[in-house]
């Protein structure tokens, strides 16, 4: 494995939206990065077309209407294959990393042991992603150069929103593989089972999603990951919810390019964003009275 971060994948993430916040809503898009770089592809056993299966494909483009309406977004440029920003930095299978390991010990979840940890190592039905075990020093470099700065930037935006508006709301945007079959939800909202956001935000978002005509689920099978757990602090006026969107709702049949439903889903995200902002500002006004 290459003992270096790819030097052709910078910047690692970008902020989009107004120079100065005009809304308490911050969007996070951690899994839509497509800048693989030659070094990463050289280390992979799988071609880019299969590494793309890890992506939340084109979600960074789906949010454009919400940004045009005033939201600020933090968007990862690096692909999830390089490092998963929605995983704790300790959530890694130690058996996938060659010693010496980073100083902070790994504490893998069941998902990490199955290959979907901090650095993904396996794809279901396909097999190992990398040609060999990851170097501990390389994992640490990715944590230091990409993971921590992303979360620091996200925390800074939320703190800025809280200072300016008295409240902040994070909408963490994801997509999920098609879930075929009757009764399966095409839209899943997660609030960490009520721990990452006040119920008013859950209800506002669910109201918009239910009105879309798609089947909607709450916290099943996705309740929210590391981003909502780390940044959602409703007791401090910082609320975080996650949205998962079935890729077949907005991509083409190959799940690669924008499909017929792309525009409708973009409108839907903007409507969810608007409902969250209205709820946030209303909650702040009530608290200030």
Q: Within a domain: residue 36?
A: yes
- The residue range of the domain holding 27 is 13-43+56-83+146-288
Q: Within a domain: residue 141?
A: no
Q: Within a domain: residue 126?
A: no
Q: Is the pLDDT of residue 31 over 90?
A: yes
CATH (domain of 274): 3.40.630.40
Q: Within a domain: residue 181?
A: yes
Q: Which of 123, 142, 122 is nearest to 133 (CA)?
A: 122
Overall domain count for the chain: 1
pLDDT in tens, 189-239: 999 999 999 999 999 999 999 999 999 999 999 999 999 999 999 999 999
What is the average per-residue pLDDT within 22-46?
Answer: 95
Q: Within a domain: residue 260?
A: yes
pLDDT in tens, 194-207: 999 999 999 999 99
Q: Within a domain: residue 270?
A: yes
What is the average per-residue pLDDT within 78-91?
Answer: 97
Q: Within a domain: residue 283?
A: yes
Q: Within a domain: residue 211?
A: yes
Residue 24: partners with Cβ closer than 8 Å, 6 or more residues away: 161, 162, 164, 165, 167, 168, 169, 277, 280, 281, 284
């Amino acid at each position: 494995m290459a003992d270096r971060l790819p030097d052709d994948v910078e910047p690692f993430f970008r902020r989009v939206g107004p120079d100065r916040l005009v809304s308490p809503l911050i969007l996070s898009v951690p899994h839509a990065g497509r800048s693989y770089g030659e070094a990463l592809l050289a280390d992979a056993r799988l071609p880019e077309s299969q590494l793309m299966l890890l992506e939340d494909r084109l979600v960074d483009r789906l949010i454009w209407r919400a940004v045009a309406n005033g939201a600020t977004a933090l968007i990862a440029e690096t692909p999830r294959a390089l490092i998963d920003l929605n995983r704790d930095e300790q959530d890694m299978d130690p058996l996938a990393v060659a010693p010496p390991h980073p100083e902070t010990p790994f504490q893998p979840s069941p998902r990490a042991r199955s290959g979907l940890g901090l650095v993904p190592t396996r794809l279901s039905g396909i097999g190992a992603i990398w040609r060999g075990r990851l170097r501990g020093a390389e994992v640490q470099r990715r944590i230091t150069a990409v993971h921590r700065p992303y979360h620091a930037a996200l925390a800074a935006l939320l703190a800025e929103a809280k200072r300016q508006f008295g409240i902040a709301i994070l909408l963490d945007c994801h997509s999920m593989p098609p879930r075929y079959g009757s009764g399966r939800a095409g839209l899943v909202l997660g609030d960490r089972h009520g721990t990452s956001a006040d119920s008013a935000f859950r209800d506002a978002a669910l109201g918009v999603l239910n009105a879309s005509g798609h089947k909607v689920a709450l916290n099943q099978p996705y309740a929210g990951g590391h981003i909502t757990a780390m940044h959602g602090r409703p007791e401090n006026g910082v609320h975080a919810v996650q949205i998962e969107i079935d890729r077949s709702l907005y991509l083409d049949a190959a799940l690669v390019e924008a499909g017929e439903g792309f525009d409708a889903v973009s409108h839907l995200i903007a409507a969810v964003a608007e409902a969250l902002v209205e709820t946030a500002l209303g909650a702040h006004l009530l608290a200030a009275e």
